[in-house]
C-alpha cells in the first residue's frame, strides 16, 4: 500500500476532526479536548505543537499526528495520533508512527522518541510494541468520567 505524508494544513482540520467519532476516540487522540471536537480546539493544539503531519492514501487524508514535546538532540514525544475509522487496521497507523520517528531523528536529531497510550486503548497497546516501543513508566490519570486510568509511557527502542 502506498502512502504519502505532508504537513497538515488548514483544509485538513475538518477531516481530521471527523476521525474522532466517539468520546473515547477523542480521549485517546486528544485527552484535553472537550466533546465534540471542534475545528478551533484542533487548530489551537496544532499551534502549540510541532510537525503536525497527515498521511494520505490515494489522495485522501487517513491519519494525523504531531509532537507535543520536541527537543533538538533530546526527546521528541509523539501525540495527537488518530486514524480514519475506515482505515484502521490497514497499516496507516504503523506507517504514520514510523514516519514521525523519521521526522524526530532527521529534523530534530532526537536521541529518544516516546509516546503515551491509555490502558484501554487496546489498538495502540498492540501496535506500538510491534514498532519497537517498550513501556518505561505508568502514570495514574482520570478519564472524562473521573475514573482512574493508566497512561502508559513508551520509548522507541528498536531491537
> Domain spans of the chain?
4-156
Instruction: Identify whether the C-beta of residue 72 lies closer than 8 Å to the C-beta of residue 109.
Output: yes
> What pLDDT score does 72 carry?
86
The rounded distance, in Å, linking the Cα atoms of 90 and 8 is: 21
Q: Could you please report the per-residue DSSP string of the chain?
A: ---EEEE--GGGHHHHHHT--SHHHHHHH-TT--SSPPHHHHHHHHHHSEEEEEEEETTEEEEEEEEEEE-TTSEEEEEEEEE-GGGTTTTHHHHHHHHHHHHHHHHH--SEEEEEEETT-HHHHHHHHHTTEEEEEEEEEE-TTS-EEEEEEEEE---
Over the stretch 1-10, which tens digit does the pLDDT of each residue have? 789 999 999 9
> What pLDDT score does 41 carry?
98
User: C-alpha angle with apex 125: 12 to 101, nearest 5 degrees?
Assistant: 55
The rounded distance, in Å, linking the Cα atoms of 80 and 82 is: 6
The rounded distance, in Å, linking the Cα atoms of 76 and 78 is: 7
Q: Terminal CA-to-CA distance of the chain, rounded, Å?
A: 25
The list of the chain residues with pLDDT below 50 reads: none
Determine the topology of domain 4-156 in CATH: Aminopeptidase (3.40.630)
> What pLDDT score does 67 carry?
98
> What pLDDT score does 84 carry?
98
> What pLDDT score does 29 carry?
97
Q: Which residues are registered as beta bridge partners of 117? A: 152
Over the stretch 87-118, which tens digit does the pLDDT of each residue have? 999 999 999 999 999 999 999 999 999 999 99
Amino acid at each position: 500500500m502506498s502512502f504519502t505524508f505532508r504537513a497538515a494544513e488548514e483544509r485538513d482540520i475538518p477531516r481530521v476532526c471527523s476521525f474522532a467519532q466517539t468520546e473515547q476516540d477523542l480521549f485517546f487522540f486528544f485527552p484535553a479536548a472537550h466533546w465534540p471536537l471542534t475545528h478551533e480546539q484542533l487548530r489551537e493544539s496544532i499551534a502549540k505543537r510541532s510537525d503536525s503531519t497527515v498521511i494520505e492514501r490515494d489522495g485522501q487524508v487517513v491519519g494525523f499526528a504531531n509532537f507535543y514535546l520536541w527537543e533538538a538532540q533530546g526527546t521528541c514525544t509523539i501525540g495527537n495520533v488518530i486514524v480514519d475509522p475506515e482505515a484502521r487496521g490497514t497499516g496507516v497507523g504503523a506507517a504514520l508512527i514510523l514516519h514521525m520517528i523519521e521526522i524526530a531523528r532527521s529534523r530534530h536529531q532526537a536521541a529518544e522518541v516516546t509516546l503515551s497510550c491509555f490502558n484501554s486503548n487496546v489498538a495502540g497497546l498492540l501496535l506500538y510494541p510491534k514498532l519497537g516501543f517498550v513501556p518505561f513508566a505508568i502514570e495514574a490519570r482520570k478519564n472524562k468520567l473521573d475514573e482512574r486510568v493508566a497512561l502508559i509511557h513508551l520509548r522507541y527502542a528498536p531491537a
